[in-house]
Amino acid sequence: MVTIRGFLTAIGCLMVLLSVSITPAAAERRVALVIGNSGYRNLPPLDNPKNDATLMAQTLKGLGFTLVGNGPHIDLDKLGLESVLQTFSNQIQGADVGLFYYAGHGIQVRGSNYLVPVSANPAREADVDFQLVDTALVLRQMEGAGTRLNLVILDACRNNPLAGRGLRSADSGLAQMRAPEGTLISFATQPGNVAQDGTDGNSPYTKALARTIRRPGLDIFRTFNEIGLAVASATGGAQQPWVSLSPIRGEFYFAGAPTGAVTTPSPPAPQPDPAGQAWLSAKDTTSVAVLEEFVRRFGDSFYASLARARIEELRRSEALRRPQVAAAPPTQQPAQQPPASMAQALLRRKPGNIMGAGATFPYPIYAKWGGAYQKETGATLNYQSIGSAGGIKQIKARTVQFGSSDVNLPGSDAAASKLVQFPTVLGAVVPIFNLQGVPELILDGPTLASIFLGDIKTWSDPAIRRLNPGARLPDQSITVVHRSEGTGTTFIFADYLVKVSDRWRARVGANTTLEWPVGTAAKGNEGMATTVAQAAGSIGYVEHAYARQQGLKAVKLVNKDGVAVAASPVTIQAAAAAPEWAGSSFEQRPSNMSGANSWPITTATYVLVEREPSDLNSSLDVLQFFAWAFANGDRMASELDYVPLPANVKAAIQRTWADQIRTADGAAVLR
């Protein structure tokens, strides 16, 4: 049976806790305590925590936080650490936002996490309670302060400082921590792992944190998603961010809301769809007639499967209550009642909590859907943003209820692992360019591949002129910019080129990291955009959402039907709606699809669930959550710059559930 105990949702070796009721920044009183321990007397010293604390103190002060002591506290012993914690506890009483930041040694012992003062010198496990500071003390002080928003940030797992001391219960990194109600916990690397201290004066996480929270217009979900992506990029994927999430009502912006946005403490939750609303009223009825009327009115909805199962259950119960005509012979064994389907089992209780893990790309929207879903149903979603490979590994091991991946599994792999996959939201990759005096540029797939192969070297090449007959293309060398680190963005871009260019397929192929024939390397979307902006005559590629947010100049591409289109939510949805993808089992990616309005480099993020569920109730909890999200979550997805699935794809997904997800005896879970 799949369980969800001990699992959290992911993003850093920093920990962030957020209360669920948040006011706009303009009305907030923000209080922060910042600590950096570098100069350990009896343990290995650390170079950067004092620098990290100084950077964070300056950053937070600039964002309107009042600092305890008016600056960072450096190299605190146990008495000093406990003393400033008490001062902090007093000062955050009645504040809107309380923030605790600690950089230095952190350790897990017997599953609990401890901050390490510079005076610590434990020789045995009994010393831990007297010489270290339990992180639970920090949480208790903040939870009791009545703040509307609490953040606890721990950059505290850079190595195991107690290694070799014979403390058998001490382990590297930090232990998983369950987020209290209405909180978000973020680690800079996965629990049990060691984060990098940094080689240029600051740790990768604190550097990304300080830079990202200064960006206006990023809500809390996008902030920590961007921090996680930046850390993974800066460390070449060696440090994978991690977040534990409890739903957050309202919005919080470190550096202010987007221009024209209006934030409220608690925006109204999305209204359920008519079928869902009707089902809430009908699901507990004992009248077969009422349920049959529900099926008549909402027969095409997800809830109709539950209604049909409820009808069968009521009829079976009625049959069991009827008197028997004759008693069974004394030697005959009692007849066994047929096993209930998953849908029937679910009818006996409310939706349950859900545990998932995987790709970082969909984390913000899963978090937002989860918050709204909890408000409506009471069920919670905990999602670990540990990367696609981790999500696939965990669902294959059956340690989560669903896995998530930005790259779909080959059909043979999914079949061998007894998994069913389906998309949840769409994205895209767009080429961006820097050509003075050229406001619009059109390319087709083969020409784009030739540019990135180095076969086309100047903007005045006949192949480019043919596609842009009215443009004043300069006789200028092309500077190709590509990603320096392994990333799904590169895979999606290269996978498209494989489909449209035999030369690209033969010479380069598709992967998250490539042997690039030509070009300049840049880290992340931000590095790519900066390099292209600074290099005249350059071309690169970024995620569509990033290009849209930053107003970057993007290439129009000639699609499979020979039409030049710009990337937009409309053209991305059009690609996904193409019958060769919407009518498939989602084993291929939705790039280079047919349709006059289709954007060629479209992609999706996928969920993986058990084909033969080991826990019927928890498996159908997942399907209910995503059915709810498909019915109610499009507006939330669009607000976060995701592209919702078109209606025909959503219908195909529910057919996939009905056709492929079966009980151990082969019965359909949904009918």
pLDDT one-digit tens code per residue, 409-443 = 888 888 899 999 999 999 999 999 999 999 999 99
- The domain in which residue 529 lies consists of 427-582
Asked if residue 85 has pLDDT above 80, the reply is: yes
| Whether the predicted pLDDT of 328 surpasses 60 | no
Is the pLDDT score of 91 beyond 90?
yes
In a domain, residue 667? The reply is no
Q: How many CB atoms lie within 10 A of CB 631?
A: 18
Domain boundary among 194, 217, 245: 245
Which residue, of 582, 601, 619, is where some domain finishes?
582
How many whole angstroms separate alpha carbon 41 and alpha carbon 117?
10
Give the chain's radius of gyration (CA, Å). Answer: 27
Gap between the Cα atoms of 360 and 84, Å rounded? 35
Residue 668 confidence (pLDDT) above 60: yes
The predicted structure's pLDDT at residue 442:
96
Which pLDDT score, from 0 to 100, does residue 634 have? 93
pLDDT above 80 for 263: no
Q: What is the mean pLDDT of the chain?
A: 80
Residue 482 has pLDDT above 50, yes or no: yes
Q: What is the mean pLDDT of residues 293-307?
A: 67
The reply to whether 605 falls in a domain is: no
Is 153 within a domain?
Answer: yes
Do 419 and 358 meet the contact criterion of CB atoms below 8 Å apart?
no
Per-residue pLDDT band at 457 (split at 50, 70, 90) = very high
188, 211, 245 - which closes a domain: 245
- Strands of 163-297 (E only): list them: 170-171, 184-187, 242-245
When pLDDT is averaged across residues 313-340 and rounded to a whole number, the result is 43
Residue 653 has pLDDT above 80, yes or no: yes
Please report, rounded to a whole number, the percentage of residues in the chain having pLDDT higher than 70. 78
What's the confidence (pLDDT) of residue 213?
94
Note whether residue 591 is domain-resident.
no
Query: Can you tell me the mean pLDDT for 478-498?
Result: 90
Where residue 176 sits, what CATH number does that domain have?
Answer: 3.40.50.1460
In a domain, 561, yes or no: yes
- pLDDT for residue 278: 67
Q: Which two tokens stand for residue 504?
A: 């690209």
Reported in sequence order, the residue ranges of 142-194 that DSSP labels E, i.e. its strands, are 149-155, 170-171, 184-187
Please provide residue 421's backbone torsions phi and psi, each rounded to the nearest 5 degrees.
Answer: -120, 150
Query: pTM of the full predicted structure?
Result: 0.54
Tell me if 473 is assigned to some domain. Answer: yes
- Considering the domain boundaries, does residue 262 fall inside one? no
Can you give the CATH number for the domain in which 515 is found? Answer: 3.40.190.10
Instruction: Look at the block and give the residue holding tokens 């529910």.
Output: 654
Q: Does residue 609 fall inside a structural domain?
A: no
When mean pLDDT is compared across 217-226, 332-341, 527-536, the lowest value belongs to: 332-341
Between 289 and 196, residue with greater pLDDT: 196
| pLDDT of amino acid 219 | 82
User: Where residue 570 falls among pLDDT bands split at 50, 70, 90?
Assistant: very high
- What's the total number of domains in the chain? 2
228 pLDDT more than 90: no
Residue 27 has pLDDT above 90, yes or no: no
Q: If pLDDT is split at 50, 70 and 90, which confidence band does 447 have?
A: very high
